[in-house]
Structure formats: C-alpha cells, structure tokens
Amino acid sequence: MNSALSILGQRTKEPPISWLMKTALEHPGIISLAAGFTDNPSLPLQEAREVLAEILSNPQRGQAALQYGSTAGDPELRAATAALIRAADGAAATDARYQPDRLLLTHGSQQFLYLVTEALCDSGDVVLVEDPTYFVYLGIAQSHGLRCRAIQMEPDGIRLKHLETVLDDLKHTGAIKRLKFLYLVSYYQNPTGTTTSLAKKAGALELLRRYEKAAGHPIYLLEDAAYRGLRFAGPEVPSALTAAKTARVIYTSTYSKPFATGIRVGYGLLPPELVAPVLRIKGNHDFGTAHLLQKVLADAVRSGRYARHLAALRIRYAAKAAVMKQALERHFPTGVAWDEPQGGMYFWVRTPKQLRTGPNSKLFKRAVAENVLYVPGVFCHADDPIRKKPDHTLRLSFGSASEADIQTGIERLGRAMA
Ligand code: PMP
C-alpha cells in the first residue's frame, strides 16, 4: 500500500534537534552544551507570578485575558513591541516602518518564520542563508522543498562579494526568478555568535535591489533578531529596517530569550503588502497566539518588570560566557579555535581539519562516552549543491548549563578532543 502522507508529510525529515534530544535522554546525567534552552535560575518566576496575580485578580481583565484574542495579537502588546524596536533603532515615533499595524504577534518567532516562508515560497523556490545558519530554519526550508544557497560569512556578517557571485549565478541559470529572500540571523547569530554590521545589511539590501529586475518580483531581507536583547558587550547595532531605502525588510524577534522561553511569544514587522497574506495564513494556523500569555507580556513591559529583568539577564549571560571562555582556554587543546560572542548564548568552535565533529565522528562518540553533548556544526550548513559541508566545527551553548556544568562539560570535551 502507498503512504497516505502528503508530499510535505513524506518529505519532512526528522529535525536534528529531535535526534540530539533523544541522545540526551538516553544518557541521563549527560551535560548538554547542545541545548538552546535558556538559564533556569534566572527565569522571571516572581515577575510572572505578580503579573498573573494582577491580571487574574481583576475580574474584567482576567476574563478578557482568558478569552480568545485576535489573529494579529493584543493591541497593547503590538504597540509596546513596535515601540521597543523603534527605540532600539533610534527611529522617530512617526516612522511608518514601526507602526503597530505592521506588527504581528506569533507563537514564538519560529511560527513567524514558518508563516513568512509559507506566504512567500513554493516548493522549488530559492532562499539564501548564511553558511552556517540557524539549523531549525533549515528544517522549515527542507520541509517546504526549498533550494538553499549558502552565503559565506566573515566576522561582521555575510561576505557581500560572495552574495553577488551567487546572485549572478542565479541570474545566469534563471533561478533568480525563484529567489524570494535572504535570511540573516543578524545578532549574536545562532550558531556562530556573529553580529552583522549595519554596513553589511545595507550592502545586502542594495545588492538584492539590483537583482529584482531579473527576478521580476521583490526580493526580501528576512532579519531574524532573536538574540538582539541579549547583548553584553560591543555597541548596539541598528536593525536592517534603518538601512532600508526600499521597504523590503521583514524583521522578527522574540520574547523567548529576553524573558521566558515557556511563554513563547514572538513577533514580526512586515512590509505593508505582506501583512494581510501572513495574517490570513496565521488565521488558518491558530487565529491568534495564546491571549493570556500576551497579556502577561503586555503587563510585564508596561510595569517595567520586563526591562529590569532583561538588564539583569544580560549581566548573567555575560558571566556565563566568561566562565565558558575561561574553561575553553584551560581545557581545549592547541589548534582548536573559537569566536568570542558579544551577546546571545553560543560559542562556535573550529577544530583542526583532521578532527571531524559530525554526528558519526569519533569525537562525537567520544564526547557522548565522556557524558557531554554538543551540536555538530554540520547540522547548521544548508544542502547547497555548490560546496561540500564543513565538518570540523561545533556549537556550544552556555544558556542552560550551570557554571559548574559548563566547566565540567568543557573539561570532558577537551579530554575527548585530546
Ligand atoms: N531564531 C533563532 C535564531 C533561534 O535561535 C530561535 C530559537 N532557538 C528562534 C528563532 C525561535 O525562537 P522562539 O520561537 O522561541 O521565538
């Protein structure tokens, strides 16, 4: 008998995250430096308790919060979120790009990424991604049958020369007609920790604009700023919205990392022509993100609890990053290199070429035997037919592990490498 599954149902592969979680579960006591979870002890327990009590002790507010909301999201939180992005960018209150009616609240920024992909892409379409990129996004692309082209990275973001080469190539083969957007994880990137400079964002937008004629439609820049709030060093870099002479920027971020991953509310700002299409698709998905959780956030932002919590969190992550850095210096053999992040939750490590890091490598097996888990870098590279995937990198997270576990975990991994 044939399978009853749809093409998408058949095509969608098991995401590497499931395999990593399974490996962790099979080895109780393993120290996971792989998980993208945030720091448990600093989750806003008291803030959430207070806010929930405030909402639920008032019958009118409580009942409204326990009722369905709207597809686009709670008006107060939409306005507050748009204002936060605008303030971070130093833009004027009248700037059309930050108007709340362009902002959608979603179930995590993950849902926003999915909705935008569904609104813009058909199977066979092309998207440009960083090399490496956020591996869960690669799952969305794979599931939808998209063709990814990977753009090389430099310390301040994608290599514009390479972007131009790839755009030229797409033009010559005609595939430019299927190119929909460039996806950038622009702040303390997952997985490399790299932050894209404003000059690179502006340069990328300018290049995309030049190829629109050949494409015959707009080519967007999808800026994923999931870690923007978690800056602990370096300057605040403005978003691509500020660089845009064109209105081609789609901007997304989340309350997951700066507040609580368990609340799982994300958001996105859209160019005007995309608001209704994405909203209609969200209507079919869920006709609105959990209303109570949006109310919790609206209250946390209004009362100042959110800002205070985030300020403390940045100090906390700076300290954890410092612990991981010291442990790396102490325990990793010479020849192994890493980039130091200025925010976010990740260190990206490069091993010598002969020391492979993939899921079937000796190192990975040895690490699991030593009871420590990392994300093999190979998961973060798109299936680009033009280049072979590098297999000598790995991602380490200082998000969820305790300071003691970070130290022990790195010591074990150093032993496995040696
Ligand atoms: N983008 C990036 C780069 C991420 O790392 C994550 C979470 N790991 C997300 C988006 C999605 O997060 P959420 O859905 O919780 O907002």
Ligand 1 close to Cβ of residue 109 (< 6 A): yes
User: How far does the chain reach from its first CA to its final CA, in angstroms?
Assistant: 51
Neighbours of 344 (CB within 10 A): 29
Cβ of 132 below 6 Å from ligand 1: no
Backbone angles phi, psi at 129, to 5 degrees: -130, 160
Q: Is 203 in the pocket of ligand 1 (CB under 6 A)?
A: no
For residue 81, the Cα-to-chain-centroid distance in whole angstroms is 18
Point out the ligand 1 atom lying closest to the alpha carbon of residue 265: 16
Best residue among 134, 192, 223, 255 to mutate for probing ligand 1, ranked by most atoms within 8 Å of CB: 134
CA dist 250 → 95, 281, 366 (Å): 15, 16, 42
- Residue 33: closest CA among 392, 331, 396, 410: 396
- The stretches of 72-230 forming alpha helices (DSSP H) are 75-89, 108-120, 135-143, 160-173, 198-210, 212-215
Task: Find the 45 Cα to ligand 1 centroid distance in Å.
Answer: 21
At 355 the pLDDT is 96
Give CA–CA dist 220/217, Å, rounded.
10
For 384, the 3-state DSSP assignment is coil
User: Residue 349, Cα to own-chain centre: how many angstroms?
Assistant: 19
pLDDT of residue 16: 84
Other Cβ atoms closer than 10 A to 417:
21
Q: What is the pTM of this model?
A: 0.97
pLDDT recorded at residue 279: 98
Ligand 1 atom with the smallest distance to the CA of 109 is: 16
209's CB contacts (< 8 A; 6+ apart) are 219, 245, 246, 248
CA-CA distance, 396 to 288, in Å (whole number)? Answer: 34
CA of 255 to the centre of ligand 1 (A): 10
* DSSP 8-state code for residue 242: G
pLDDT the model gives residue 396: 98
Residue 11 makes CB contacts below 8 A (sequence gap 6+) with 142, 143, 145
Phi-psi region of 152 (alpha: psi -120 to 50; beta: other; left: phi over 0): beta
Can you give the pLDDT at residue 386? Answer: 86
Do residues 341 and 347 touch, judged by C-beta distance below 8 A?
yes
Q: Is 294 in the pocket of ligand 1 (CB under 6 A)?
A: no
Q: Is 192 near ligand 1, meaning CB less than 6 Å away?
A: no
Cα angle value 216/222/225 (rounded, 5°):
170
Q: Which of 298, 281, 294, 251 is nearest to 99 (CA)?
A: 251
- Residue 271's pLDDT is 96
Nearest to 257 by CA among 201, 309, 205: 309
How confident is the prediction along the chain (418 residues), in pLDDT tens digits per residue? 899 999 999 999 998 888 888 888 899 889 999 988 899 999 999 999 999 999 999 999 999 999 999 999 999 999 999 999 999 999 999 999 999 999 999 999 999 999 999 999 999 999 999 999 999 999 999 999 999 999 999 999 999 999 999 999 999 999 999 999 999 999 999 999 999 999 999 999 999 999 999 999 999 999 999 999 999 999 999 999 999 766 899 999 999 999 999 999 999 999 999 999 999 999 999 999 999 999 999 999 999 999 999 999 999 999 999 999 999 999 999 999 999 999 999 999 999 999 999 999 999 999 999 999 999 999 999 999 889 999 999 999 999 999 999 999 999 999 999 9
- The residue whose C-alpha atom lies closest to atom 11 belonging to ligand 1 is 110
Cβ(256) to ligand 1 under 6 A? Answer: yes
Q: How far, in Å, from the CA of 226 to the mean position of ligand 1? A: 6
Backbone angles phi, psi at 275, to 5 degrees: -60, -55
Contact 191/380 with Cβ under 8 angstroms? Answer: yes
